[in-house]
Structures are given as structure tokens and as C-alpha cells.
Amino acid sequence: MLNITIPATEQYDPVDEVFHNTKETQLTLEHSLVSISKWESRWCKPFLGTKKNDEETLDYIRCMTITKKVDPIIYICLSSDVIDQVNRYINLPMTATWFAKQDGPPSKEIITSELIYYWMTAFNIAYDCHTWHLNRLLTLIRVCNVKTNPPKKMSRQELIDRNRSLNEQRKNAANTKG
């Protein structure tokens, strides 16, 4: 979760031609599958891998907000520093798990909240995890996928290359030509 403080401000609304005064507000935000589901249901497009305009970004911050009864004007008052802070939070890995290498070229599959819920179901991941930071949940899903799929067998050429390399190392260690 991310806690941010929005200072009290006075905002001019050019549409209604009035000034709005806001109180200092504490927002608690959560970048989770729940937040993404809310956003996707409003915008009817995938959240992941989609470029977002300013309106969509502010709406995602609304979807992330778990603080109750927030004045809607607050979101108009968000400074670029606050939005940068939110983006840094969204990009945090939130896990100590890392992967040595990519499993090949990135998938071209469009990932939506429903697909992530499917993965949770397929791997018997409790639905309570849908409130976890999204990157942590996706890491868990990736771990489940790696652990349930047997390691790929080496191709014939990979075996030949590996054996050739091992032979070279042994010849060098023994200081022989073979």
C-alpha cells in the first residue's frame, strides 16, 4: 500500500468558473488486481501494456484508492510529484524473487484482469491474493508456472555444444590437446 498526503489547496474550475477549496487529505492506494479490474471495467481495454492518457491515469489512481469518501476534486489537485510517486510504487517488484533469464521472446498475449484470475484459478492461488501488489502476484503466478512445468530438454545441437565446451575445459585443465 502507498500512503500519500495531498495538501489543502484552492483549485479553479474553468468549466463552472468557481474556486474549490480542499482540505488536506490522506490517500491510501493499492496497485492490485482489484484496482485493475475496476479500471478495465470502466475503460473496456486492457490495463497492462496500454498507453494511458492523463484522464485514464487519474482514473486508475481513483481505482487504486481504498480510502473511503474522498472528495473527487482531490484527484484534480494531484501534483506531478505525487503522480511520479504513484508510478514508482506501481513499478516496484514487491518481492525478493527474481528470475535468472527470460524464458524466450515476450508473449504477445493480451493480459487482462480476467486472464490473471484464470491463472489464479489454474494454480489454486487463493482469491485473497487479488489485493496483493500486482507485481508480487504476477511473480507468484510465474513461480507456479515454472515449478509445475518440467524443465525443457536440450536439443541435440545444445547437447553437442555443451559437450564440446566441457571437453575444451577439461583439455585446458589437463593441459593436453586431447
pTM: 0.77
What pLDDT does 104 receive? Answer: 64
Q: What is the mean pLDDT of residues 70-81?
A: 88
Local confidence band at 102 (pLDDT 50, 70, 90 cut-offs): low
Q: 139-164 pLDDT, tens per residue?
A: 999 999 988 987 778 788 888 988 99
Contacts of 43 (CB under 8 A, 6+ apart): 56, 59
Which residue has 593436453 as its cell numbers?
176
Residue 86 confidence (pLDDT): 96
Residue 93: is its pLDDT beyond 70? yes
Question: Phi and psi (nearest 5°) for 19?
Answer: -100, 140
**Domain range list for the chain:** 1-152
Distance of alpha carbon 34 from alpha carbon 76, whole angstroms: 23
Give the range among 56-65, 115-124, 144-153 with minimum mean pLDDT: 144-153
